[in-house]
Amino acid sequence: MGGVDKTDQFLQPYDCGTKSMKWTKKIFFHLIQMSLCNAFLLATKDGYKKPLLSFIESVVPSWIFDGQLPKVCVPTDDEVR
C-alpha cells in the first residue's frame, strides 16, 4: 500500500497534459511519454546511466529528423523532352 508507480514518478515532472487540450491529444502525448519511459527503463537495464531528460533529448530528435522522406525531383516542362 502507498506505493507509487515508477512510470508516474518519471513522467510527473514532464507532464504535458493541460486542461485546454483536447482529450485525444492528451491520450496521444501520454502514449508517447509512456513509450519513452519504457524505452528509458529498458536502457537503464542495459547500463544507461544518464537521467530521463537527457534520454528524451537524445531520442526525440532522431524520431523527428531520421524519419523524413527523401526529396523527390519532379520534372518541370523545361526538363521534359
Q: What integer pLDDT is reported at residue 53 of this predicted model?
A: 87
Q: Mind listing the pLDDT tens digit for each residue in 44-78?
A: 999 989 998 889 888 888 877 766 655 656 666 66
Residue with grid cell 515508477, as numbered in its chain: 6
Q: Is the pTM of this model over 0.85?
A: no
Q: Mind listing the pLDDT tens digit for each residue in 9-50?
A: 777 777 766 677 788 888 888 888 889 889 999 999 999 899
Grid coordinates representing 37 are 519511459
Sign for the CA dihedral angle at 39, 54, 8, 15 comes to: negative
